[in-house]
Amino acid sequence: SNITISNSVGKLSSSEIEKMVDDAAKFKSSDEAFSKKFEARQQLESYISRVEEIVSDPTMSMKLKRGQKEKIESALSDAMAQLEVEDAGSDDLRKKELALKRVVTKAMSTR
């Protein structure tokens, strides 16, 4: 998204416009970081939700080998705990999602 700052009405001085442009540049990187974190959080929450459905489905649970459900539930707990960490970065959230995916994939492939 681009921000256009113009002096069409003639109320802003060139130094004020320059300051606004500088501020926009400063906030751009923090906005991008926020967007990445938000996206990673949404993906992790969505995946957690899908995994919870699998674990709570009796038909699916019965297909898991003994001990696999507990491993999935443990990985789910870890992932949910990561969501509670306020300053968790997008990399931390993605790592937890990948860790959970590995556990689920392994559990599903050993049927």
Report the candidate in 101, 104, 107, 100 with the shortest Cα–Cα distance to residue 64: 107
Longest pairwise C-alpha distance within the chain: 73
Measured CA to CA, the distance from residue 94 to residue 41 in angstroms comes to 8
Look at domain 37-109 and name its CATH class. mainly alpha
Contact in structure between 97 and 79 (CB atoms under 8 Å): yes
How do residues 53-98 score in pLDDT, each as one tens digit? 988 998 888 888 778 989 999 999 999 999 898 888 999 999 999 9
Residue 47 has pLDDT above 90, yes or no: yes
DSSP one-letter code for 102: H
pTM of the model: 0.73
Structure tokens at 52: 């919870």
